[in-house]
Amino acid sequence: MAYFVYAVRPFAQLEKLAEFDSFAPASAHAKQQRATLPAEPGLRIRVMFAETALAAEDLLLQIREPGPTGDE
């Protein structure tokens, strides 16, 4: 399994930026991309852990339910 770094734009536009074997370099790359890419409305840089790039894209496109509210 690998760590994939993606640029996620509105309307489910995904762009694979990089792939890493461990989390630390993937996280560092994502942070660098967030700092250097121009401000674009709706752009998110995400790190996804998955078996393949296709599996990572599937996970990125899934709609997630918000967690339960509680004492925070």
Residue 32: per-residue pLDDT: 96
- Report which residue type is found at 63: I
Is 17 among the domain residues?
yes
Alpha-carbon distances of 15 from 25, 42, 48, 67, rounded to whole Å? 18, 14, 13, 27
Q: Is residue 68 part of a domain?
A: no
List the structure tokens of 55. Answer: 């599996």
Q: Give a yes or no: residue 72 inside a domain.
A: no
Amino acid at position 38, single letter: P
Task: Tell me: pLDDT of 70 over 80.
Answer: no
What pLDDT, on a 0 to 100 scale, did the predictor assign at position 67?
81
Residue 14 domain boundaries: 2-61
Query: Token pair of 27, please?
Result: 């996280």
Domain count, the chain: 1
36 falls within a domain: yes
Identify the three-state secondary structure at position 18: strand
Summarize pLDDT for 7-61 with one digit per residue, the tens. 999 998 999 999 999 999 999 999 999 999 888 888 999 999 999 999 999 999 9
Flag whether 71 is in a domain. Answer: no
